[in-house]
Each structure stands twice: as structure tokens, then as C-alpha cells.
Amino acid sequence: MSQTNLEPVKISEKIGAADIEQKPTRDGYGEALVELGEKNPNVVVLTGDLSESTRAQAFQKKFPERFFEIGVAEQNMMGIAAGLALAGKIPFVSSYATFSPGRNWDQLRVSVVYSQANVKIAGAHTGVSVGPDGATHQALEDIAITRVLPGLVVLVPCDYLQTKQATLAAAAFKGPVYFRFTREKTPVMTLPETGFEIGKAQVFKEGKDVVVIGSGPVLYNALLAAAELEKQGISVMVLNNHTIKPIDSESIIAAAKKCGAVVTLEEHQINAGAGSAVCEVLSKNYPVPVEMVGMPDSFGESGEPAQLLEKFGMDAPAIKNAILKVIQRKVKNG
């Protein structure tokens, strides 16, 4: 495996700085929709009574004839999107991930993915960082139920800018795509030149002792943990594995070979999630010690986002602990 696969991309220089720009990922979705609406008359947007909070509203104002308010009826919404796509449209289905694909998974499976209908499913409000709304509205299973479907692309962009780019990339891709975003403002880690390509993981930070393979806004905590550990002489690579499917096996294997130990990170159930996808690749190709950071087989609860990430172990200290633990295992094995 050549090292060229692990060329770092350029990201913000303000990682860890108090004045790093903070923006909700969903804003990137809303802006991209308007951009797409201007460029492509086939782009249509559907929502189930959630146009404001999914940020579909800007598209609605600008292109009312291509915006469909379905009401609180997610199964019908997914089916209508499939019909629109089979007739040549590029529908974006906008809702909370707990409802879509949570509540309309059968429609996603048969009407969309099995039929290869060109539907884009935007799952908002994922992770415990949804906060005060509580467990019912914190999607922690959406990656598991989407990545299991044959031929469905699954994306987890890490910040506002990348969500915008992922939305544009999803529109350009021919076939069904699921992508998720979060509720709160989160640090904008990337730059316009960071780029985004479906299926191509990105090295956000170089390192050689251990690699954190993760996705979503929680990846910022990995960068914070890595910076701290660097001071202790531990070199941590951070790999932004934004495409859960089709997974970038090549980069994951190369990173595991280089570092010999892996920490997976996601704001999702550890079981069957993005980290499991990484383990599927590693166990088959290049087994190394792995620690998994994510939701520990538990539902969330109400609280402030930062409190919840701390309680359930997805903040920087938890990631740091996982890194130290996996390095110990690596030394023992070595």
C-alpha cells in the first residue's frame, strides 16, 4: 500500500482556537439545495412538516413549484420521492433521521434502493448532540440501517462546509444516497479547498502511532485529543472517513498498516455503525487492535449537547483514553 493514499488535506488552522467559526451542518444542506435548484431544474425537495429545521425552507421560498410539503407522513414521502425519481427528478427527502430513514425504512429499501431510484435522503438531528429534545429525537441507529442496504451510498460530513459539498456531490451522483447532519452549531474544521469526494477518506492530521478513523462533527474532538497527545509524544493520525459506504478500504488498510492501532469514532451506536464498517475491513484485511468510541449500546436522554457527549463518552477526554488504551494493547501484542 503506497503512502500516497495518506496525503493530508488542508484544513482550518484554527483547530482548538476559541474563535474557530461555528455553524450548524444543516445550514450547509440548505445552502446547497438553493444552489442546486438554480443549476438543475430536475432537483425537487420534499419535507414532512420540517422545512425550517431541516433548512429546506430557503429552497421552498425560491422554488415553490418544486417543493412538496408532504405533511407528517414519512412513508408516503419516501414513496413519492421514489416515484418522482423514477420519472427523472432528483428528489431530496428532508426530515429528521429518526423518522426518515427510521420510520420509512421499508419504503427506502424497496421503493428507493431496490429500485435504484435516484433519491437523496437527508437525515437531520443525528447523535446525542441533538440535546434537550431527548432520546426519541436523537438518531443513533441511522448509519446501521442504511449501510446494510445494497447499493445505498452513506455519507457523514463533518461540518457545515463539508455538508454543503456532500449535498452537491450527492446530487451529482447517480443513485440513492443517504447523508446525515446534526442540530447544533459545530466547528468548521474544513476549508473550501479541503474538498470532498464520495468514497475517498481524508487525512485531517498526520501521525504514526495510532489512527482515529471517524466521521461527523465529533471528529473535531479527535483533533483536540490528538493535539494534546502530541505534547506527550504520541503521534495520532486523524482520518475523516466521511463515506461509510462504499467504504474507502484502501485508505483504512494503509492507515492501519502505518499506525498499527485504530480508534473508531462516531456519534452513533457502536453496534453496527461506522466503526463496525471499519472493523469489517480490518478484520478481513489487516487486523490490528481497535478501540471503538461511540454510543455504548444505550439510548440518549435530555441534556446539553456537551454534557451528553461527555456522559456517553464521545468528548475529547474519552477519545484520548481510547487512544491510550489501544496503544497499550498494540505494545502488548507487538
Partner 1 sequence: MQKLTAQQLQLKANDIRQDIIEMLLEAKSGHSAGPLGMADVFATLYFNILRHDPQNPSWVDRDKLVLSCGHICPVLYATMAEAGYFPKEELKTLRKLGTRLHGHPHNLALPGLENSSGPLGQGLSQAVGMALASRLDRTTGRIYAVCSDGEQDEGQIWEALMFAGKNKLHNLTVILDRNNIQIDGYTEDIMPLEPLKDKYEAFNFHVIEVDGHNYQQIIDACNEARAIYEKPTIIIAHTIPGKGVGFMEYDYKWHGSPPNKEQANQALNDLRTLRGMIQGEHQ
> Which active-site residues does the annotation give?
74
Q: Tell me which stretch binds partner 1 (CB under 8 A): 83-91, 142-150, 298-306, 325-333.
A: 83-91
Which residue among 38, 52, 106, 230 contacts partner 1 (CB under 8 A)? 106
Residue (72 or 331) nearer to partner 1, CB = 72
The answer to whether residue 44 forms part of the interface with partner 1 (CB under 8 A) is yes
Which residue among 35, 49, 102, 115 contacts partner 1 (CB under 8 A)? 115
7: left (phi over 0), alpha (psi -120 to 50) or beta: beta
Q: How far is the CB of 37 from partner 1 (least distance, A)?
A: 13
The answer to whether residue 38 forms part of the interface with partner 1 (CB under 8 A) is no
For the chain, how far is it from start to end, CA to CA, in angstroms? 21
Q: How far is the CB of 189 from partner 1 (least distance, A)?
A: 37
The answer to whether 129 and 183 are in contact (CB under 8 A) is yes
Q: What's the CA gap between 84 and 76, in Å, rounded?
A: 12
Q: What's the CA gap between 46 and 44, in Å, rounded?
A: 7
The answer to whether residue 59 forms part of the interface with partner 1 (CB under 8 A) is no
The answer to whether residue 94 forms part of the interface with partner 1 (CB under 8 A) is no
The answer to whether residue 130 forms part of the interface with partner 1 (CB under 8 A) is no
**Residue among 3, 25, 4, 5 at smallest CA distance from 199:** 5
Q: Write down the residue that cell numbers 407528517 correspond to.
A: 72
Q: Tell me which stretch binds partner 1 (CB under 8 A): 80-88, 127-135, 200-208, 248-256.
A: 80-88
The answer to whether residue 236 forms part of the interface with partner 1 (CB under 8 A) is no
The answer to whether residue 102 forms part of the interface with partner 1 (CB under 8 A) is no
Q: How far is CA 147 from the centre of its chain?
A: 12
Count of residues interacting with partner 1 (CB under 8 A): 29
The answer to whether residue 65 forms part of the interface with partner 1 (CB under 8 A) is yes
The answer to whether residue 86 forms part of the interface with partner 1 (CB under 8 A) is yes
Q: Is 127 helix (H, G, I), strand (E, B) or coil?
A: coil
Which residue among 51, 94, 98, 107 contacts partner 1 (CB under 8 A)? 107
Return the HEC string of 110-166. Answer: HHHHHCCCCCEEEEECECHHHHHHCHHHCECCHHHHHHCCCCCEEECCCCHHHHHHH
Longest dimension (CA), the chain: 63
Q: Tell me which stretch binds partner 1 (CB under 8 A): 50-58, 75-83, 189-197, 208-216.
A: 75-83
Which helix (H) or strand (E) is 96 found in, with range?
strand 90-96
The answer to whether residue 140 forms part of the interface with partner 1 (CB under 8 A) is no
The answer to whether residue 84 forms part of the interface with partner 1 (CB under 8 A) is yes
The answer to whether residue 90 forms part of the interface with partner 1 (CB under 8 A) is no
Q: How far is the CB of 34 from partner 1 (least distance, A)?
A: 18
The set of residues, in sequence order, having a beta carbon less than 8 Å from that of 251 and lying 6+ positions away, is: 5, 6, 200, 201, 203, 239, 241
C-alpha R_g of the chain: 19
Report which DSSP code applies to 132: G
Task: Work out whether the CA dihedral 241, 135, 290, 150 comes out positive or negative.
Answer: negative
Q: Tell me which stretch binds partner 1 (CB under 8 A): 2-10, 74-82, 241-249, 324-332.
A: 74-82
Q: What's the CA gap between 125 and 296, in Å, rounded?
A: 19
- Contact mark string toward partner 1, 175..214, x via CB under 8 A: ----------------------------------------
Q: Tell me which stretch binds partner 1 (CB under 8 A): 19-27, 105-113, 222-230, 266-274.
A: 105-113
